[in-house]
Structure 1
Amino acid sequence: MSALRSRRNFLKAGFLSSAVFLMDGCNLFGVTTPMQTLGLMHKDLFPHAQELGIKTTSYMQIVFNHFRISDADKTFLKNGVKWLNEESITQYKQEYAKLSSKQRQNILATVTKTEWGDSFVYNVMNYMFEAMLGDPIYGGNNHEAGWKWLQFQGGKPSPKQAYM
């Protein structure tokens, strides 16, 4: 790959995983990052993953930076983070990360009743389960914790390098 193309991909990946500006009407309300919101969503959607030591947030960083994940999918995830936070601001006058656990659960219940919210949470959960159940070489399923939790024996031989 040429150096120019490499730099373009780096800049594009940085843009997609960088700050999300949150608006309250016409005013700037706050700034968050997809990783901050997605990490908290993972905790809210499946707290046991954190207890097992599964690193779903670091896996999402791989997703945002990987060339095999379409730009449309990355943009949808980033927009979902923005929309989730905007709903949080509308209901509670705070961004998602500043809400109590109960308030965050209420926001998730509210947004999943919308088409975008249902799709967004579905996509986030798919990536979360990939992190929890994939081969540890991909960075999420530390020490085969997800496999051990399910009493699953991973495929052998294990990959020597990550495909993704």
Structure 2
Amino acid sequence: MRHVEGRDHMEITLVQGDITEQHVDAIVNAANSSLMGGGGVDGAIHRRGGPEILEECRALRASRYGKGLPTGQAVATTAGRLPARWVIHTVGPVHAKSEDRSHLLASCYAESLKVADSLGAETVAFPAVSAGIYGWPMDDAARIALSTVREASTGVAEVRFVLFGADAYAAFEEALGRLGREDEG
């Protein structure tokens, strides 16, 4: 586990583990635009959280997001049976070598923190958004995630990046170290 302070004394923590086991106010879900569950983190959150999450996602689709949640945006639902109060769903961009979509990935983190602020969440757990089946290179995903969160103006006291494997943890640890060196230089 590694700790660092961001803007406004926010604590940034890196943890290798399972995001569905985090005791935080809000867990961020790397969702697909349908909000109906899927693979990876999305599927794990829906399975462990139970039908309450899917029920609220269906209601969102029936009302505000008839065409799905747009890439880079975020919306909250109950956390169901998860050890959190809320799930903040965000849709990351699919990585493309032919087009720079990094602003959309940064938006996932910024918009999720805005939603967390609107809920009054003080602790938020993020996965590595877009770094799974959406193909974003882990080192670049880590750089964008950490720099966006560190620069965010938010009331969130702790942002915890929960990384599933050792490679993801190592990439985030390296990116965090680079940010720290930039601050010193």
Shorter chain as denominator, the TM-score bin is under 0.3
Greater share of helix? 1
TM-score normalised by L of structure 1: 0.28
Which of these two proteins has the greater Rg computed from alpha carbons? Answer: 1
Greater share of strand? 2
Structure with more contact order per residue of length (Cα contacts < 8 Å, sep ≥ 6): 2
TM-score normalised by L of structure 2: 0.25
